[in-house]
């Protein structure tokens, strides 16, 4: 049986900024669902970020020696293609619905960050789990 938890990181987020920080120290894998608002007008980018420090970083501030995190690569479950962490998932005056996964071995913190947006809203949920 899988040990898992589910979280909503971004809920109809209509602005730039980070979602909820979740502690994933007890998990190895994550699957994200990404969904825009259905209005066919979303123009935004979402990146996934992780950190290994004991204290959660401020994901909306610049990376530094005292605020260490990085954008992490995800894999599209539709076709197995990788999406570079620094690129993220982008939609341009459209809707987007994706399932992506990532390996979170040794990460302590995980979130989703809207880094660019001109219109539309996005919801990102995550299931973190172990195969045990």
Using one digit for the tens of pLDDT, what is the confidence trace for 46-97? 999 999 999 999 999 999 999 999 999 999 999 999 999 999 999 998 999 9
Asked if 10 and 123 touch (Cβ cutoff 8 Å), the reply is yes
For residue 79, tell me if it sits in a domain.
yes
**What pLDDT band is residue 131 in, cutting at 50, 70 and 90?**
confident
CATH number of the CATH domain containing 87: 2.60.120
For residue 64, tell me if it sits in a domain.
no
For residue 25, tell me if it sits in a domain.
yes
Q: How many domains does the chain have?
A: 1
For residue 61, tell me if it sits in a domain.
no
The model's pLDDT over 23-43, given as tens digits with 9 standing for 90+, comes to 999 999 999 999 999 999 999
Residue 9 has pLDDT above 70, yes or no: yes
Q: What is the span of the domain harbouring residue 82?
A: 3-56+69-130
Pairing of strands 74-76, 82-83: antiparallel
For residue 115, tell me if it sits in a domain.
yes
């Amino acid at each position: 049986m899988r040990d898992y938890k589910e979280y909503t990181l971004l809920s109809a987020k209509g602005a730039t900024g980070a979602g909820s920080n979740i502690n994933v120290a007890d998990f190895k894998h994550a699957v994200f669902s990404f969904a825009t608002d259905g209005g066919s007008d979303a123009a935004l980018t979402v990146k996934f970020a992780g950190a290994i420090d004991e204290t959660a970083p401020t994901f909306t501030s610049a990376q530094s020696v005292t605020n260490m995190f990085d954008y992490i690569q995800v894999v599209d479950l539709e076709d197995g293609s990788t999406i570079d962490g620094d690129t993220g998932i982008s939609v341009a005056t459209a809707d987007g619905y994706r399932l992506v996964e990532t390996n979170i071995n040794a990460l302590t913190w995980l979130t989703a960050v809207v880094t660019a947006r001109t219109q539309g809203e996005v919801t990102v949920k995550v299931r973190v789990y172990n195969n045990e």
